[in-house]
Amino acid sequence: MTAGFIEAWGRGYEKICDAFKAENLETPVFEEVRGGFMATIKRERFAVIQKGADVGKDVGKDVGKELSERQQIMLKMISDNPFVSAKEMSEKMSEKTTANERTIERDIAKLKKMGILIREGGRKEGHWVITLNSDLD
């Protein structure tokens, strides 16, 4: 009876690896950690944009969506400082445009919905990550 359980465990590992290969993703790294089991899965569908690039235009081109000038400026600010807040962006942009904090928050929501921007961590201690989502049409 024990052999049946072990065979089931081994098949689960094989199924996971097959599923990742079918999606052209790197196979997870499996390891024993302090008596437990850990799988490390790389987030390959997301590529962090390198600092200093023309972030807004590059992202818009890659996802097939046009970004507004304000959204491009926001993405550049985020690439320069991933910890920047909507309020800080609003204050910095007030010189160039009439973007209040609520407008910035709406743009953030749009960028998140498009898969261009994600938030990692909590509201105060978290940061922004600019991504390229290959699943966008």
CB 130 within 8 A of CB 49: yes
Give the pLDDT of residue 30: 84
pLDDT, one tens digit for every residue, the chain (137 residues): 445 555 555 677 788 888 888 877 788 888 888 888 788 877 655 444 333 344 454 554 545 468 888 898 999 999 899 999 989 999 988 776 677 889 999 999 999 888 889 888 887 788 898 886 433 33
Range of the domain at 86: 55-130
Q: How far is CA 89 from the centre of its chain?
A: 20
Give domain status of residue 50, yes or no.
no
Strands 117-120 and 36-40: unpaired
Give the pLDDT of residue 58: 52
Residues 28, 86, single domain; the answer is no
Burial (CB < 10 A; 0-12, 13-18, 19+), residue 79, is: buried
Residues 77, 106, single domain; the answer is yes
Other beta carbons within 10 Å of 111: 23
Give the pLDDT of residue 84: 92
Q: CA-CA distances (angstroms) from residue 50 to 22, 47, 80?
A: 29, 9, 10
Give domain status of residue 60, yes or no.
yes
Give the pLDDT of residue 124: 79
Residues 28, 60, single domain; the answer is no
Residues 29, 94, single domain; the answer is no
Residues 65, 28, single domain; the answer is no
- What is the spatial distance between Cα 28 and Cα 8, in angstroms, rounded to a whole number? 19
Give the pLDDT of residue 43: 63
CATH of the domain at 92: 1.10.10.10
* Secondary element (H or E) of residue 40: strand 36-40
Residues 96, 72, single domain; the answer is yes
